[in-house]
Structure 1
Amino acid sequence: MRFHLKNVTRQFGQHVAVDSVTLEIPAGQMVGVIGRSGAGKSTLLRMINRLVDPSSGSIHFGDTEVSALRGQGLRNWQRDCAMIFQQFNLVPRLDVLTNVLLGRLNHRSTALSILNIFTREERIMAIAALERLGIEQAALQPAGTLSGGQQQRVAIARALMQSPKMVLADEPIASLDPLNAKIVMDALKDINEREGITVITNLHTLDTARNYCERIVGMARGRVVFDGPPNELTAEAVHAIYGSDRDGAGIDESMTSTSINIASAKPLASATPSAGVGTLAVAEA
């Protein structure tokens, strides 16, 4: 079932955040959207999920015009199109298991949701999702006590509980260290490959987009300026997406890397068993 955006534009007052974007995405693709901050990436994903309405243009999923949905139809779409946020959007005081079960709310009656009654099958499903993400041991901990990487895995497990047809991830690794970033991206790739679910993720890091995504969409000033496979993301394409630095030089891709540089890792002079045995060389975006 193809997903199609046709001339989609979003304006905030006089500012055009997304400018006449047209994309066609076949079912089962893993797409990385890259670009500078303010390029329109997050607004694009929020329009797809209908957290923000397009100012003009249309969004279609198969025969359904997503941009025209209202009421129950819109709620059904937001159930089928799961959203993963950079800031996790968990309920800190609730335990991890309950946070994951909240992904079932749009599959249930209002009465059951209000009473917070979940079936045995739903609880088994939630535990299975946590096991898949390797975080089942934290099921009864308050979500607010977990690390950022753990919370993002909980958010992915919650998205799985929606039984989605599409997963949108808005900068899912922007606030994570390289090890947790890899765990999260591996999980998204596994969902894409094992279930055949379309995954669209906004990324700041070129190496991550190259390694995980079969298709890369580059945005600049609200427009799509690149659309193709990773091997076509040349230096010229990177320049079109990111422009030049203040001295007019091209962007060094290593500036956007979150890779763990094992070769250059050096032992810490005063390492303790809890501190580890080496350093991670990381260039932050």
Structure 2
Amino acid sequence: MLVVEQLSKVFGDLTAVDGVSLAIPKGQMVGVIGRSGAGKSTLLRMINRLTDPTRGSIDNEGQDVTALKGHDLRLWRASCAMIFQQFNLIDRMDVLTNVMVGRIAHTGFARSMLRSFTDQDRVRAIQALDRLDLVPQALQRAGTLSGGQQQRVAIAKALVQNPSIMLADEPIASLDPANAVRVMEALRSINRTDGLTVLVNLHTLDTARSYCDRIVAMKDGRVHFDGAPRALTTEKVRAIYGTDDLSDEINEAVTSTSLQTGSCRPQRQAVGT
């Protein structure tokens, strides 16, 4: 179990995350929603230890994550893989090498930069690409792929880290609806097949309801809802996000989705990024 206890992050006069406590059982898929500035990204970055918390603790299966340093911290970041909205790939490098770079915590920085990978690293990378239907693009430059393909390469890169937890920060925010579905299906498949704990920040409520076992809604750095998707009623959403603003966002999301696809999952209740 991953346990976050009274976790806070302060940037000057701004409290980005304010006393968040969560207990996440192994293998659960959790959608974190909230408007822009709600603290979602900061929360995930603290769990991965890309950002150090100001207060509070993170414990994973009895390990004090907040106390980790050096090599132990690098291994934690590998076991708690992070997927970003911007893909974080090297455009001029081929897809296969981009994925193998995900082994950096195990191979070391120098070997990764020199592209001195073992046969086992290559096998892992090919297997990960195969799961994401990307083997035909293995020797193609990453920068030539579509956004949806690049995000699936990023997922493959995370998989070769051999993680037990996968964090995804707005992984579909810049994708069209069809590619968004493919990425979310991939994350859910990894969650179900591998038993990985998945925390994913999302800007649409319908996506969270469709794919996640549990929804955590944040506002002003705090958790305002934590429970099953069916328990997050329209009334609760309006109470958290505000009736007028939410109505505007619902109408805008329905119109945008209908124009783009006409048939893809309608994203009726958008709740900000």
Deviations 1:41-84 (A, max 9, x none): 00000000001111101111011111111111111100100000
Q: 1:61 to 1:13 in 2, by over 3 A?
A: same
Deviation at 1:128, TM superposition (A): 1.4
> For residue 140 of structure 2, what is the aligned residue in structure 1?
141
> For residue 33 of structure 2, what is the aligned residue in structure 1?
34
> For residue 220 of structure 2, what is the aligned residue in structure 1?
221
Are 2:204 and 2:267, in contact at CA under 8 Å, matched by a contact in 1? no
> For residue 120 of structure 2, what is the aligned residue in structure 1?
121
- Percentage identity across paired residues of the two chains: 57
More moved, 20-29 vs 112-121: 112-121
> For residue 54 of structure 1, what is the aligned residue in structure 2?
53
1:245 counterpart SS class? helix
Is residue 2:130 matched to residue 1:131? yes
In 2, Cα distance between equivalents of 1:257 and 1:72 = 47
Are 1:34 and 1:41, in contact at CA under 8 Å, matched by a contact in 2? yes
> What is the TM-score normalised by the length of structure 2?
0.92
> For residue 24 of structure 2, what is the aligned residue in structure 1?
25
> For residue 88 of structure 1, what is the aligned residue in structure 2?
87
Deviation at 1:131, TM superposition (A): 1.2
> For residue 9 of structure 1, what is the aligned residue in structure 2?
8
In 2, Cα distance between equivalents of 1:24 and 1:280 = 30
Any unmatched runs of 5+ in structure 2?
none
> For residue 101 of structure 1, what is the aligned residue in structure 2?
100
2:52 counterpart SS class? coil
In 1, Cα distance between equivalents of 2:156 and 2:26 = 21
1:124-273 maps to which residues of 2 (within 5 A)? 124-245=123-244, 253=250, 255-256=252-253, 265=262
In 1, Cα distance between equivalents of 2:138 and 2:4 = 38
In 1, Cα distance between equivalents of 2:105 and 2:256 = 37
More moved, 110-119 vs 222-231: 110-119
Are 2:206 and 2:267, in contact at CA under 8 Å, matched by a contact in 1? no
Q: 1:196 to 1:141 in 2, by over 3 A?
A: same
Deviation at 1:254, TM superposition (A): 5.5
Deviation at 1:193, TM superposition (A): 0.2
Deviations 1:19-45 (A, max 9, x none): 000000000000000000000000000
Q: 1:258 to 1:93 in 2, by over 3 A?
A: farther
Any unmatched runs of 5+ in structure 1?
266-277
1:238 counterpart SS class? helix
2:51 counterpart SS class? coil
Are 1:83 and 1:159, in contact at CA under 8 Å, matched by a contact in 2? yes
2:155 counterpart SS class? helix
> For residue 79 of structure 1, what is the aligned residue in structure 2?
78
Q: CA RMSD in A?
A: 2.4
In 2, Cα distance between equivalents of 1:157 and 1:42 = 21
